[in-house]
Amino acid sequence: MPPFAKLVEYFNWVAENDEKVRRIQGSFHAQLGEWHRLKIPEGSRVLEWGCGAGNLLERLNPANGVGLDLSEGMIAKATGRNGQKSNLVFKQGDIQAEVISESFDYIILSYLTGYLTDIEQALRNLHSASHARTRLIVTSLNNFWLWPLLWAQWLGLVTPQPQSNWLSTADLVNLLELAGWEVVEKSSQQWMPFNIPLLTPFLNRFVARLPGFRLFGITLTIVARPAQRKADINSPVSCSVIVPARNEAGNIRAALERIPVMGQQTEIIFVEGNSTDDTWEVIQREVTAYAGPHQVKALKQPGRGKWDAVRAGFAEASGDVLVIQDADLTAPPEDLTKFYDAIASGVAEFCNGSRLVYPMESQAMQFLNFMGNKFFALALSYVLGQPIKDSLCGTKMLLRADYIRLMQRIEVLGDFDPFGDFNLLFGASLLNLRIRDIPVRYKDRTYGETNISRFKHGWLLLKMTVFGLFRVRWS
């Protein structure tokens, strides 16, 4: 019997005989389902290959969910369980031979790669079902758990398995890259597959995600995006530059003169933030007199804090691309073209400025500030699951469409960040956007004093980092 037929026969048998084992493994599958729910918002368009009885797809509650599986027995079981739900469709299909032309927001391969005979071809076939912001979510069994799995089969805790591929994270990443997918995030989950009060949450939420310990989670998890950079926006596009300005009267004209033209049209929006000097009067005067290539607007922020100013500016912006440029100009506006090129080309989906690559001018950042930035960058890299070098640089750029989705995604976090840096980074992480650091040369101030209090705001940043650990990384 050929391997394909044997596999179909095996899963047809599993469809009829796995109820007892599924009950035993109930906590394990519930944990995996909750991790997928964290990555996939309700109401998304979701395609799952190797859907089995449809349990995971049902749990995700998609607006449009399509489940495909080799086994007619599994499809019959999934249809029987979910036949009355108009948002779920289950069909028989072979991922290694079939191409789906309908596009989805998320594509799931849950414990499927171990059974495939041509993983690379299967991954290539998925591109036809993707768009620029599609995220491919792959889970697989960690090699470390091979022998425990064999013992579990002997004890009747796991269904007997056919000959399978045992892939490391490096194997999976390599195959994804060969097939035209770029890995956004990789990790492992689950130290304890059974539900033991207090112990299971402690091991799975905390221990399994600590550096070093996370190498031994039962489930390997990878989030990837299409690497071929399908066009998500029409080029050239417009760009809106938001300039929050508090006590920055001496920098307004320089900002107008130095912000470069980006895309079809560049819009500059000054948001004045309750200054004690004449910043608002200067903004009004310079905007009225301006005769350059940009469209220029000015407004007063409705509340207090930089995040309030940024939100007000973004709400007023008309550009396809949104970027923050601090009015102190210590991060040079001339570098904004690098951010724009990365976003417009699709190389990055969220650009984060990094002041810690090139040598900085002598008064640009004091030693304690420098060490604080290093610490928060390391901590935030762990929280986000993606490396960043400078979490607190004010220059950040993303598409307007992604900003709208981001704001919806961070509603569950509440109003915790008065600066906005963590709001944007946490939101980008929750959306699985590809975050890229863009190095900038950090300059001395030429006017005014910083609005940041080293110790007061440092303590606030520390509290927000801890908040991120619990609400983003350890949720």
Cα–Cα dist 449/445, whole Å: 8
Residue-level pLDDT at 393: 82
**One digit per residue, pLDDT tens: the chain, 475 residues?**
455 678 888 788 877 878 887 887 888 889 999 999 989 999 999 999 999 999 999 999 999 999 999 999 999 999 988 767 889 999 999 998 888 989 999 999 999 998 898 999 999 999 999 998 999 999 999 888 877 777 877 777 777 777 778 888 999 999 999 999 999 999 888 888 888 888 888 888 778 777 777 788 889 999 999 987 655 565 668 999 999 999 999 999 999 999 999 989 999 999 998 898 999 999 999 999 999 899 999 999 998 888 999 999 999 999 999 999 999 898 899 999 999 999 988 889 999 998 776 665 555 455 555 565 566 666 666 766 777 777 778 899 999 999 999 999 888 777 767 777 888 988 898 899 999 989 888 777 555 555 554 444 455 566 666 665 566 665 6
Residue 455 is predicted with a pLDDT of 47
Q: What is the pLDDT of residue 232?
A: 59
Superfamily name and number for 3-226: Vaccinia Virus protein VP39 (3.40.50.150)
* pTM confidence score: 0.83
Please say whether the beta carbons of 320 and 344 come within 8 A.
Answer: no
**Contact criterion met (CB below 8 Å) for 296 and 283:** no
Identify whether the C-beta of residue 421 lies closer than 8 Å to the C-beta of residue 394.
yes
Domain range list for the chain: 3-226, 238-473
Residue 146's pLDDT is: 78
pLDDT of residue 20: 82
- pLDDT of the residue at 80: 87
Give the end-to-end CA distance of the chain in Å, rounded to a whole number.
Answer: 46
Q: Supply the pLDDT for residue 40.
A: 94
For residue 409, give every residue at least 6 positions away whose Cβ sits within 8 Å of its Cβ, in sequence order, or none: 41, 427, 430, 431
pLDDT given at position 266: 95
- Residue 37: the pLDDT is 93
**pLDDT value of residue 102:** 93
So what's the pLDDT on residue 457? 46
At 469, give phi and psi (nearest 5°): -60, -45
CATH assignment of 238-473, among 1.10.760.10, 1.10.10.10, 3.30.559.10, 3.90.550.10 = 3.90.550.10
CB atoms within 10 A of CB 252: 25
Contact status, residue 29 vs residue 59, Cβ threshold 8 Å? no
